[in-house]
Amino acid sequence: MSGGGGGSIPTINRPGGGGAEDCGSLRIITSVASPDSDVLVDVSEGDILNVRTLSNEGPVIIETPDGRVVGSVLSREMIRLISCINNGIEFNAVVNSISDGRCVIEISSE
């Protein structure tokens, strides 16, 4: 019998973008990794934090507007985020919630 692939074309690449054109739609909801508790006490729900990379290969860090490091980003979408930042797109992170030392943020280019 032919056509065992079920009519679909398999590929080793998973679907998903990553091009500059996808940066506008990139939205990452994640917990801040390795949060600094001394900085976190000054962060509140609704705050807007800075997102930047320390090099063009990461890490991605989350900072308060006065430049104190809250923590970093570990996400499946980290590669797209770094790619977009390397292409000059600016991102920020809105604090969705903080509880028990866990800070959930939403990263987007808006």
- 45 versus 102: smaller Cβ distance to another protein: 102
- 15 versus 46: smaller Cβ distance to another protein: 15
State the Cα–Cα distance between residues 2 and 50, nearest whole angstrom: 54
Task: Examine residue 4 and tell whether it contacts another protein (CB under 8 A).
Answer: yes
**CB of 103 vs another protein, minimal distance in Å:** 16
Task: Examine residue 99 and tell whether it contacts another protein (CB under 8 A).
Answer: no
State the Cα–Cα distance between residues 101 and 3, nearest whole angstrom: 53
Report the site for another protein in 27-86 (rule: CB under 8 A): 33, 55, 57-60, 72-76, 78-80, 82-83, 86
